[in-house]
Amino acid sequence: MHILVINSGSSSLKYQLIDMAGDRVMASGLIERIGEDMGSITQKSNPDKWPDARSVEHRPIPDHKAAMGLMVEKLIGEEWGVIGSLTDIDAVGHRVVQGGESFSSPVLVDAAVVETIRANVPLAPLHAANLVGIEAALELFPGTPNVTVFDTEFHQTMPPKAFLYPVPMDLYEELRIRKYGFHGTSHKYVTREAAKFLGKPVDGIDLITAHLGNGCSMAAVKNGRCADTTMGLTPLAGLMMGTRSGDVDPALFPFIARHKKMSVTEVDALLNKQSGLLGVCGSSDMRDVHAAREKGNETAQLAFEMFAYRVKARIGAYLAVLGRADAVVFTAGIGENDAFVRAEACAGLEGLGIKLSPERNESREPGVRRISADDSPVAVLVVPTNEELEIAHATKALVEA
């Protein structure tokens, strides 16, 4: 079975074609600058065989439908193609950021599903492009099952005491203002992989999962289900991130607006795009932060400490939420690769049962690995995430059912 996984953003489209026999990526691509004067498409075919080979092409791409047409051209084209025709694609899986309260599992797309996703757009207007992508795919692949997998669905098991905000309840009833959480596909994937690694059933595992990438979120997972998470109504909440502030005193909004004479939109952009690591030390990329602090840059050192401190504080909070944990799981760009951040976030937590092994933490072995000491009551794991594969598996399961 060949499954095409699609992640459509406002001006971009990412895709992967996966051969489900062996979970092999046949091709992956990125189409950018959709709707601009000149767009681009980059595709890697057979990346396991030729990791460095890529095709890059530039041409105007007026809209998402054109982008998908271009994707299909590449996937079946002579030079870079990996399939013979469109009918070789058995199903399409779409990443959708906001499922609201309507979706707690993947669904097969029909007209009603499209309308429900449309009704949720006001909760995440920046991600209206997800819907555009689905509509374009429905036109392009008539008769092929399309499945949606939501970033929010894993977090739908949170209890009201965790997902409600202490504001007047009519705001929740009228506007559905609540914590939704994001990166759910990643938290779900690493939960299952961690359970497999530890030899426990998923529904019997308690974890603290930390997805630390450009965007960052953590989840408290009780019996394999999300009990709490750090992101909220929007991805701005929780941990410090590349360019997002994470949690701040909400009174900062009116304070900044008043004192800097900024509009709501400008303050929103300040906290989403100019804050986090970038705001503190001028770089949003953790590798650059390390390079700067190694040269003695004090604000880079501070940004690193602030970042790791917030992860540590959440580990403590989520241990309290869960009462116990089988493991703390690190994933995504920073979580998988950055031994400094992991060491700093876990430092001094021996009293809570978390003890890293410095050698294991620094080893760069690929795949799922334990980085805690043998006598650490709570395991600490690095689990590489794979959201596309999670979407492909969910799509396959639904199509087969």
Which residue lies nearer to ligand AMP by CB, 25 or 75?
25
The answer to whether the annotation marks 290 as part of a ligand binding site is: no
Gap between the Cα atoms of 340 and 227, Å rounded: 28
The answer to whether the annotation marks 212 as part of a ligand binding site is: yes
Binding of ligand AMP at residue 286 (CB under 6 A)? yes
The answer to whether the annotation marks 215 as part of a ligand binding site is: yes
Q: Which of 287, 309, 362, 363 binds ligand AMP (CB under 6 A)?
A: 287
CB of 375 to ligand AMP, least distance (A): 28
Residue nearest to ligand AMP (CB): 333
CB of 326 to ligand AMP, least distance (A): 24
Which residue lies nearer to ligand AMP by CB, 146 or 386?
386
Task: State the Cα torsion 140-145-150-154 to the nearest 10°.
Answer: -170
Q: Which of 31, 61, 72, 332 binds ligand AMP (CB under 6 A)?
A: 332
Tokens of 344: 């700093």
Residues 336-365 that bind ligand AMP (CB under 6 A): 337-338
Binding of ligand AMP at residue 213 (CB under 6 A)? yes
Contact (Cβ atoms closer than 8 angstroms) between residue 13 and residue 20: no
Residues 220-279 that bind ligand AMP (CB under 6 A): 242
The answer to whether the annotation marks 386 as part of a ligand binding site is: no
Gap between the Cα atoms of 282 and 278, Å rounded: 4
Which residue lies nearer to ligand AMP by CB, 349 or 382?
382
Binding of ligand AMP at residue 214 (CB under 6 A)? yes
Rg (CA), the chain: 21
Which residue lies nearer to ligand AMP by CB, 157 or 243?
243
Secondary-structure breakdown of the chain: helix, strand, coil percentages, each rounded to the nearest 5: 45, 20, 35
* Stretch touching ligand AMP by CB under 6 A, among 7-15, 113-121, 146-154, 331-339: 331-339
| Helices 64-76, 129-140: inter-axial angle, 10-degree rounding | 50
Of 304, 374, 321, 308, the closest CA to residue 208 belongs to: 321
Beta-strand relationship, 39-45 and 2-8: unpaired
Q: Which of 57, 247, 285, 344 binds ligand AMP (CB under 6 A)?
A: 285
Of 152, 193, 211, 149, the closest CA to residue 4 belongs to: 149
Cβ contacts of 171-177, under 8 Å, gap ≥ 24: 176/100, 176/101, 176/123, 177/233
151 is catalytic: yes
CB of 216 to ligand AMP, least distance (A): 9
Gap between the Cα atoms of 78 and 74, Å rounded: 8
| Helices 387-400, 184-198: inter-axial angle, 10-degree rounding | 90
What is the amino acid identity at position 11?
S
The answer to whether the annotation marks 359 as part of a ligand binding site is: no
CB of 330 to ligand AMP, least distance (A): 11
Which residue lies nearer to ligand AMP by CB, 181 or 333?
333
The binding site for ligand AMP (CB under 6 A) comprises 213-214, 242, 285-287, 332-334, 337-338
Annotated active-site positions, please?
Answer: 151
Binding-site residues from annotation for substrate:
95
Feature table: binding site for Mg(2+): 7, 387
